Amino acid sequence: MSLLVDVRKRLGGFSLDVAFELERPHEVVALLGASGCGKSLTLKCIAGIMRPDEGRIVLDDRVLFDSEAGIDLPAQQRRVGYLFQSYALFPNMSVEQNVMAAIRAGSRQERRKRARRELEALHVGELAARRPRELSGGQQQRCAMARIFASDPELLLLDEPFSALDGYLRWQLELELADTLRRFPGGVVYVSHNRDEVYRMCDGVCVVSDGRSGPKMGMRELFEAPRSLAAALISGCKNVSPVSALPDGSLRCETWGVTLFCEVPFGLDVTHVGIRAHYLHMGEGENRIPCVVDRIIDSSFSTIVMLRTPAGGLLRYECEKDAWEGLEAGESCVVHVARRDVLPLGEGGAR
């Protein structure tokens, strides 16, 4: 199983420039990015719903799209399963008819049998006679997956599969979908803006920012050593500042008015640094930042403290609820950050 995607498309003022690869069977790769960054557009290009201006899409040894060779396989022949955000079940048909619609070969009897089998496999066999509007969001998702599997896809595209659901149900379904994906032999491209969901469900991740994709990286790499500003922000890094490199190898942070040393080697292209909120520590140490407590926010499981830095910019500090020392707004304090926790970052575009 392999998938190569390298496409460019202009759409009004927006330009898409995305490239990534899937190499192993069962591989689940996430396209992670804020809404409107071009993730769904990329899926539409792969599925053949939208035509890229130029580039190549190759699935195993089949060329789905190649602008130079003039190849543009219609969506019907691509064998790419697409789970839409809204699940897109046909509202005028029963669940069973929906699944049968994806099966082309065989008599009516055989198609019905196959549809039943796909529904049973996802534990929704008893919903066969229902209409989509009578189903919960979770049931709709399972029926839509059954319909996709009935079309014998070689690749799955999942577009924000949980955006229509919430809370406990969402967690339950996530576990189920993870099992389902493990049984699927082909590759999966998983679009989401939720970093935690992506961390749990996927093997690799491409950060997409403003239509441009970054390099594919492992999950740990994204969270422990993001290289670009976009990757750092989407991975949940709360503190970033533009920097200028000083001759002694330190970095001058504009937003915070301090100079920090960083253990990770960086090149000339470094433009920002990032510090995760829970990697800041109270008290003296290397990379010290004198601050004034600006406000204290009680969150569900942690305490968030906004600290005013010498240059006026705010730093976000987070700790366990019980660990907060009880400083009041207006009091002075010092925080420090270990050299290995200062992340040097390249400019905006995720590449």
Q: Which residues are bridge partners to 318 per DSSP?
A: 304
**What's the closest the beta carbon of residue 50 comes to another protein, in angstroms?**
9
DSSP 3-state of 296: strand
**Using CB under 8 A, which of 9, 56, 78, 276 touches another protein?**
78
**Using CB under 8 A, which of 33, 52, 55, 81 touches another protein?**
81
> Cβ neighbours of residue 351 under 8 Å, at least 6 residues apart?
212, 213, 214, 215, 228
101 or 306: CB nearest another protein: 101
CB of 307 closer than 8 Å to CB of 333: yes
CA distances to 83, 86, 129, 224 from 100, rounded to whole Å, are: 16, 19, 12, 46
**What's the closest the beta carbon of residue 137 comes to another protein, in angstroms?**
15
**Using CB under 8 A, which of 147, 195, 216, 308 touches another protein?**
147
Lookup result for tokens 């219609």: 74
Site for another protein in 115-144 (CB under 8 A): 131, 133-134
Size of the site for another protein (CB under 8 A): 28
Q: Is residue 114 at the binding interface for another protein, with CB under 8 A as the rule?
A: no
**What's the closest the beta carbon of residue 200 comes to another protein, in angstroms?**
26
Q: Is residue 80 at the binding interface for another protein, with CB under 8 A as the rule?
A: yes
Amino acid at 308: R
**What's the closest the beta carbon of residue 204 comes to another protein, in angstroms?**
23
Q: Is residue 271 at the binding interface for another protein, with CB under 8 A as the rule?
A: no
CB of 188 closer than 8 Å to CB of 156: yes
> Cβ neighbours of residue 112 under 8 Å, at least 6 residues apart?
96, 100
Q: Is residue 44 at the binding interface for another protein, with CB under 8 A as the rule?
A: yes
Lookup result for tokens 């949940």: 236
What are the residues binding another protein (CB under 8 A)?
Answer: 44, 47-49, 74-78, 80-82, 84, 86, 88, 90-93, 101-102, 104, 131, 133-134, 147-148, 151
